[in-house]
Amino acid sequence: MKKLMAANWKMYKTGAEAVATVNEMAAMLNGTAPEGREIAVFVPFTALEAASAAMKSISGASTGAENLYPASEGAFTGEISPVMIKACGAAWVLTGHSERRHILGESDEFVGQKTAFALQSGLRVMLCIGETLEERESGLLRNVLERQLKLGLKDVPAETPAEALAIAYEPVWAIGTGKTATNDDIVETHAICRELMREIMGAKADETPLLYGGSVKPANAGSILTLDNVDGVLVGGASLKAESFTQIINA
């Protein structure tokens, strides 16, 4: 399986800024993802169309939206559908990001509806899961991951191809804090995630990329990528500058 090198630009970058960063990445990568690597960049809705057009100059790279509403169209003021996302040229969408769960109050059930609807609509989905520090310290790590995976994947159609789905494990306490989980934490938690994925989706679990996210940077990406059950990384802050994200892609 190729390593999936993903960037989440969150609420950063206008369209013009996103295009400039993609163009810088294209120059640094000589127009192609390195061998054995695939690139996905999640960008704000307002930059999606322009960034998707610019991303065509990097082979092996695609864009994604950071959110969706689970309907093709309708009276849902302020929301964006998978049809609209695909029309912008994006291949992917994120669901269940911790900022949407914890700041916007999204439930596991709603994350599950979004995941299933996006897959049915032909988007690739990166479902994010992860525990808070309080949950980890109370011994609830496995319960939380199990609940988020079970409900997040509840209505995923059985015929979904393995490459249409990725899981990103992002401990909430490691996001944007500079506190990376230790390699031992990552190995232990990714083993739990893989076991739960096998319970839920059978053999397909081993072909579904499982990414780590949370304070990944050029200095730690290389060692994280060698760990068992780590099929890629999802990078926030350190993906905003082309140079830093390109170093991670090449790590």
Interacting residues toward ligand 13P by CB under 6 A: 8, 97, 170, 175-176, 213-216, 234-238
CB of 136 to ligand 13P, least distance (A): 16
Nearer residue to ligand 13P within complex by CB, 146 or 170: 170
Nearer residue to ligand 13P within complex by CB, 37 or 97: 97
- From the list 97, 106, 131, 190, the catalytic residue is 97
The CA–CA distances, whole Å, from 69 to 93, 113, 131 equal 11, 9, 24
Active-site residue, 97 included: yes
Nearer residue to ligand 13P within complex by CB, 112 or 236: 236
The CA–CA distances, whole Å, from 164 to 91, 139, 207 equal 10, 32, 10
Q: How many residues does the chain have?
A: 251
CB of 146 to ligand 13P, least distance (A): 21
CB of 216 to ligand 13P, least distance (A): 5
In angstroms, how far is CA 216 from the centroid of its own chain? Answer: 13
Which amino acid is it at 153?
L
Nearer residue to ligand 13P within complex by CB, 55 or 211: 211
> How many angstroms separate the CA atoms of 124 and 122, rounded?
7
Q: Please, what sign has the CA dihedral across residues 28, 32, 35, 40?
A: positive
Q: Are 108 and 114 in contact (CB under 8 A)?
A: no
- From the list 49, 66, 99, 170, the catalytic residue is 170
CB of 120 to ligand 13P, least distance (A): 24
CB of 4 to ligand 13P, least distance (A): 13
Q: Show the tokens assigned to 246.
A: 């390109």
DSSP code at position 44 = -
Active-site residue, 190 included: no
- Tell me how crowded residue 3 is: count the other CB atoms within 10 A of its CB: 20
Which amino acid is it at 36?
G
> In the complex, which residue's CB is closest to ligand 13P?
236
Nearer residue to ligand 13P within complex by CB, 120 or 250: 250
Q: Indicate which residues carry an active-site annotation.
A: 97, 170
